[in-house]
Structure 1
Amino acid sequence: MAINNVSSGSNSFFLDQIQRKQDDNLEKLASGKKVNKAADAAAAQQIIERLSSESNAYQQSIRNAYDGISLSQVADGALQGINDDAQRIRELTQQAGSGILTDADRQAIQSEISGLQQNIQDTINNTEFNGQSLFTQDSEFSFQVGSGAGQSRSVNTSDLSSDLNAVFNIDVTVAGGVDSALQTLDDAISTIGEQRGDLGATQNAFQSSINNLSTTNENVQAARSRLQDTDFAQATADKAANDILSQSTSAVAVQARQSEQSVLSLLS
C-alpha cells in the first residue's frame, strides 16, 4: 500500500523557496549591495549603472580642475619670480640715474641688470607643466570640468619673450638709457601683474567648479547608494525571520515523516 504525503512535498517546496531567499539575502550582506545583478532588479540596475557613469565623469572633471589649478600655480610662481627680477632691475635703473655715479659705477649696475635679464629669460625658457612650455608661445590649455560637451575652462599664457623683449634691451650705460628703461619696466611690471590677476581669477573659477562638481557628485552617489546599498538592519532581520521559518518548516517535515511512519507501522 502506498501513502502519498502531500504535506511532505509542500514542505520541501517551501524549504527550497526559503533557501533561495536566504542565499539572496546572504549575497546582499556579503557584498553590501542589494542589487548585485540585473536579475535582482533590472530597472534599478540600469539606473545604478547610469549614476555610476555620471559619478565617474564628475570625479574625472574634479581631477581635471585640480590639474588646471596646478598649472595656474606653476605659471603664477614663475611670473612672481619674473616680477621680482623686474622690480630689482627697476630699482637698479633708478639707482643708475644718480648724477654722482661714474661710468664704472653704471657698468657695475649694468652687470647686475644683465644677470637679472638672464634670470628672466631662463625662467621663461624653463617653466613647464607636464613637459609643455608655458611662456615660449601664446598658449591655451583647456580642461574639461563638466560631464557634457562645452563644459571646459582654459588657462591662457603668453609668449613672454616677446612681451618682455624691451626689458632684455635695457642698458643704463648709454645716454638716455635710464628714462626709457623706467617706462619699459613700468609697462612690463603692469603686463606681468595683469597676467597674474588673470591666473588668480582662473584658479578661483576652477575652485568654484570643483565645489559645484563635488556637491553634485555627492548627490549622485547618495542616489546610487539608496538604490544599491544593502539595508543591513533589514537584511539581518530578514535573515533571522527566514532562519525561524526554515526551522519551523523543517520541524513540520520531520513531524510529517514520523506520522507517516506511525501509520505504516499500524498498517503493517
Structure 2
Amino acid sequence: MPINPTGVSSSQSYSLFNQVRNRIEENEKQLISGQRINNAAVDPAGLQVLINLQSDILSNSSAIRNSMDGISALQIADGGVNQVNDSLQRIRELSVQAQNGILNDSDRAALQKEADALLSGISDTLSQSQFNNQSLLSEEGSVRLQTGSSADDGQDIQRFNVAGELGDLGLLSLNISDPGALDIIDQSQSYLSTVSGEIGASQSRLESGINRLTESNLSQAESASRIGDTDYAKALSERSAAQIQEQAGIAVQAQANANRGLVLSLLGS
C-alpha cells in the first residue's frame, strides 16, 4: 500500500511545481524585455496580429521617407523656377529700358550684355536643378514614388523641360531691344507660373500623404503596444501570486516528506 499522507502524488506535485515555475519565468521575461509575447506559445493569435501591425508600420515609414525625398526634389525644382522668375523680372526691366528711344546703341549694348548674363544664368539654373543626378527642369518625364504600403499606393512627380520650352519661346536668345521682347518675357513668366503651380500641387499631395501615414503609424503603434507590450502591474501581480504558490508548494512538499518519514519510523518501531 503506497504511503501518501497528503493525498497528492509526488508526480502531481512536481508537475504543479513546474507549471508555477514556468509562469514565474515567463513573467520575468515579460518584465525584463518589456514584451508580453516573447514566443508564439504565449499568444499565437496575438503574435500574428502584432507581426502584421509591425510590418505595416515599417512599410509606412519607408513610404514616408520616399515622400520626403519627393518633397526635397520638388523644393529644388521650385527653387530653380523662383530663381528663373527673379532673373526674368530684371530682364523685363532691362527690356523696358532698352526700348526707350532716347538711348543710343552703346546704351542698348550695355543693357543687352547684362541681360545676356542673366539669360546664361537661367540656362545654368535649369541644367543644375537636379536631384540624385536626375534633371528636374531640363527634361520631360516623371518619377514614380512608392507612397504607401500597397502596390497601388504611388505618386508620379512630374519633370519639366523648362529649358526647352523657354528656348522655343525665344527667351534664351532674346534681344531685349526687340519690340516683341516683352511679349516673350510675359509668355515665359506665364509658363513658369503654371509649372510652379503644378510643383506646389504635387508637394501638397505628398505632405498630405505623409500626414496620413504618420497618423496611421501612431494608431498602429498604439495597437501594437496594447497587444505586445508588458502590462507591468499585471505581470508583477501574477509573478507575486505565482511565487506565493511556489513557496506554498515547497512547504506542502516538505511537510509531506516529513509526514512520510514519521509514518515509516512508526512502522519500523
Cα deviation for residue 204 of structure 1 reads: 1.0
1:195-231 deviation per Cα after TM superposition (whole angstroms, max 9, x unaligned): 1111111111111111111112222222222221111
- Tell me if 1:216 matches 2:221: no
The one-letter amino acid of 2:133's match is G
Q: More deviation in 2-11 or 69-78?
A: 2-11
How far residue 8 of structure 1 moved from its aligned partner, in angstroms, is 5.9
Q: Secondary structure at the match of 1:139?
A: strand
Greater shift in the superposed pair: 14-23 or 141-150: 141-150
Corresponding residue of 2:264: 264
Distance 1:40 1:17 in 2: 14
Instruction: Show the counterpart of 2:229.
Output: 229
Q: CA deviation at 1:194?
A: 1.2
Question: Helix, strand or coil for the counterpart of 2:48?
Answer: helix
1:143–1:154: 8 Å Cα contact kept in structure 2?
yes
- 2: CA distance, partners of 1:221 / 1:30: 20
Q: Which residue matches 1:172?
A: 176
- Give yes or no for contact 2:27–2:235 (8 Å, CA) kept in 1: yes
Asked if structure 1 preserves the Cα contact closer than 8 Å seen for 2:135 and 2:159, the reply is no
Aligned Cα root-mean-square deviation (Å):
1.7
Q: CA contact under 8 A between 1:11 and 1:250: conserved in structure 2? A: no
Query: Displacement of 1:261 after TM fit?
Result: 2.1
Q: Give the structure 1 partner of residue 61 of structure 2.
A: 59
Q: 2:106 pairs with 97, 104, 107, which one?
A: 104
For residues 169-208 of structure 1, the C-alpha deviation after alignment (integer angstroms, 9 at most, x for no partner) is 11135xxx1x211000001011111111111111111111
2: CA distance between counterparts of 1:149 and 1:257? 67
Normalising by structure 2, report the TM-score.
0.92
- Decide which moves more: 115-124 or 53-62: 53-62
2:92 matched to which residue of 1?
A: 90
Q: Distance in 2 between matches of 1:147 and 1:64?
A: 11
Gaps of 5+ in 2: none
Amino acid at match of 2:24: Q
Q: CA offset at residue 29 of structure 1? A: 1.6
1:155 to 154, 157, 161: 157
Identity of aligned residues (%): 35
Aligned counterpart for 1:117 among listed residues 116, 119, 124: 119
Match of 2:251 in 1: 251
One-letter amino acid of the structure 2 residue matched with residue 164 of structure 1: L
Q: Deviations over 1:47-92 (max 9, x none)?
A: 2222222222211111111111111111001111111111111111
Alpha-carbon separation, structure 2, partners of 1:48 and 1:172: 67
Whole-Å Cα distance in 2 between the matches of residues 14 and 71 of structure 1?
65
2-structure distance, mates of 1:264, 1:172: 122
Shift of 1:159: 1.0
Q: Does 1:47 align with 2:49?
A: yes
